[in-house]
Copies of this chain bind each other. A is one copy, B any other.
Amino acid sequence: MLEGAMTTPRTGRPALARPDGTPLRVLVVDDDPDLAEVLSGALRYEGWQVRTAGDGAAAVTEARDLMPDAVVLDVMLPDTDGFGVLRSLHTVKPDVCVLFLTARDAVEDRIAGITAGGDDYVTKPFSLEEVVARLRGLLRRAGMARQLEEGPRLCVGDLVMDEEAREVTRSGELIELSPTEFELLRFLMRNPRRVLSKAQILDRVWSYDFGGQAHVVELYISYLRKKVDAGRYPMIHTVRGAGYVLKPVAR
């Protein structure tokens, strides 16, 4: 397999790779096997090499073997608490990035100090886009992946998104977006020229426990159009019966 030719299944973007050309490795640790499966599927799809573990002990064992670049770690594990695992992981691999998963209502188990290092966290229920984005952010800041080093800017035509500053501009004009609008646009911008079905969008942008209708996607596309395309040449297109595409104006 040619190193330079490796691409992710979905996007055709170059696979995430470390400076030596091997794919980025991530360890997913969650005691809910369904959730672990969804997560690892999504990450594999993004070009990661994924392994999973169901508890803290297994996590450390797997980590020793895999030497992952990043770990997605549920704070509530059957055997150990997140902090202990974090310490063990740093012993195994001092420069590992950790993304914590934590329940929203678990205000008590403070995650004090966790974001103090480069690490980050996401509250359950989360959207896959959010997890993927945060993981990319971690890796970028750690300077780990070649492709991510360009910076946190996402560009499609004259539409520019700065993920760190959460700022979106079109031909220089600032566009204000709500959290959901922002996440939806990010998903579109990470998949330009690609038709995305409403189901796909729902799976990636909305949290996994969302019980609502696909109708919300139409609604939010409508919101986005008003803000992104307003008065300008349209970039968001409907493909009837299939979904939506984001395309730069000029080809």
14 A–B pairs (Cβ distance < 8 Å), ordered by A: A9-B141, A9-B143, A10-B141, A38-B112, A41-B113, A44-B94, A44-B118, A45-B116, A112-B209, A113-B208, A115-B200, A165-B195, A165-B245, A166-B239
Contacting pair B37 A90 (CB below 8 A) = yes
Count chain A residues whose beta carbon lies closer than 8 angstroms to a beta carbon of B. 58
With both beta carbons as reference points, the residue of chain B lying nearest to A201 in the complex is identified as: B115
Known: A41-B118, A179-B242. 13 other contacts (CB 8 A): A10-B118, A37-B87, A38-B113, A41-B119, A44-B95, A107-B213, A112-B202, A112-B209, A115-B199, A116-B128, A116-B203, A164-B193, A179-B240
A179 partner residues in chain B, CB cutoff 8 A: 240-242
A133 CA to B31 CA, complexed, in Å = 36
Contacts of A111 in B (CB 8 A): 199, 203
Tell me which residues across on chain B come within 8 A of A209, comparing CB atoms.
112
* A186 interface residue per 8 A CB criterion: no
In the A-B complex, list the 9 residue pairs whose CB atoms are closest, starting with the nearest: A41-B117, A38-B113, A179-B241, A42-B116, A116-B203, A115-B200, A115-B203, A9-B141, A166-B195
Flag A227-251 by CB within 8 Å of B: 1 or 0 each.
Answer: 0000000000001111001010000
Judged by a CB distance under 8 angstroms, whether A83 is at the interface is yes
A209 CA to B9 CA, complexed, in Å? 34
Interface residues of A in 63-88 (CB under 8 A from B): 83, 86-87
Q: Which residues between 107 and 156 of chain A lie within 8 Å of chain B, taking CB atoms?
A: 107, 110-119, 121, 128, 141-143
For the complex, is A4 an interface residue (Cβ under 8 Å from B)?
no
Please, which residues of chain B bring their CB within 8 A of the CB of A33? 87
